[in-house]
Amino acid sequence: MTDQDAVSPFQYRPAPNGPPVRKKRELPDGLWMRCEACEATVYRKAVAENLEVCPECGAHFRLGARERIAQLVDTDTFEDLFEDIHPDDPLGFRWAGKTFADRIRQEQERTGSVEAVITGAAYIKGRRAALGVMDGDWLMGSMGGVVGEKVALLIEHATDEKLPLVIVCVSGGARMHEGAVSLMQMGKTAAALARFDRAGGLFVSVLTEPTTGGVSASFAMLGDVILAEPGALIGFAGQRVIANTIKTELPEGFQRAEFLLAHGFIDRIVLRKQLRSEIARLIDYCCR
């Protein structure tokens, strides 16, 4: 091998008739990715090191629940709670030739999670807190009976243990596959938060892309402090439904975190790299 071969990004091979030609090496799959916000092609490793935020424009990409927990909590401090509660198919729901029970097994195998929320207790910069993180990869973070039950139990745990409560929300809304069982979780979680509030607890709600439907109409918007990531979609019904209902054009940026902040629906927009510190600061300020 020559010195040129050792440093060149190309592979040399002799041509059948003529001088040597060079063939460019193929790049490994997944090395680069495209940002949908700014359309820049960015190095995948750089995005991961930047907490899944585009280094060019600052767009915040979606995270799985376990990734979010790893970013937020102190190393090896997260303790799962209520992980033995499993989803059911109360209506025997079927669509497209499949049962909801089959879909549940499919989602569990694909994501490695039992349901669309992970609940537990952990330390965030040395402050112990009850933490719930919804998983947008699990049937779009939809809220069914188990999600509502785990969130309600987490709130009650925070009440009993006098812990601050942090819930990271991402959801496509209430789960239609479970009918009224899903819808009743809105009232149940709200009632649990009312008891938590009377006990003097602090609830920090973190809204991420997207937080919609029954989750946004219940516990997500009941935080003592409501934080949101930049550009997060937050609302109840979809924009097309709203526009068709009120027969008017919606304002620019409608249902985005910046629009909600300007209209008083949330308290702060926080960059992902600052979220851990901001939550710890709020706990120090409010729980003295």
Domain boundaries, the chain: 1-61, 63-286
Residue 13 — pLDDT band, cuts 50, 70, 90? very low
Q: What is the DSSP string of the chain?
A: --HHHHH-SEEEE--SSSS-EEEEPPPPTTSEEE-TTT--EEEHHHHHHTTSB-TTT--B----HHHHHHHHSPTT--EE-STT-----TT--EETTEEHHHHHHHHHHHHS-SSSEEEEEEEETTEEEEEEEE-TTTGGG-B-HHHHHHHHHHHHHHHHHT--EEEEEEES-B-GGGTHHHHHHHHHHHHHHHHHHHTT--EEEEEEEEE-HHHHTTGGG--SEEEE-TT-BB-SS-HHHHHHHHTSPPPTTTTBHHHHHHTTS-SEE--HHHHHHHHHHHHHHH--
Q: What is the CATH number of domain 63-286?
A: 3.90.226.10
- Mean pLDDT score, 141-159: 97
For 22-56, how does the pLDDT look when each residue is reduced to its tens digit (9 = 90+)? 554 554 567 899 999 998 999 999 999 999 999 99
Determine the pLDDT at residue 7.
Answer: 39
* pTM score over 0.85: yes
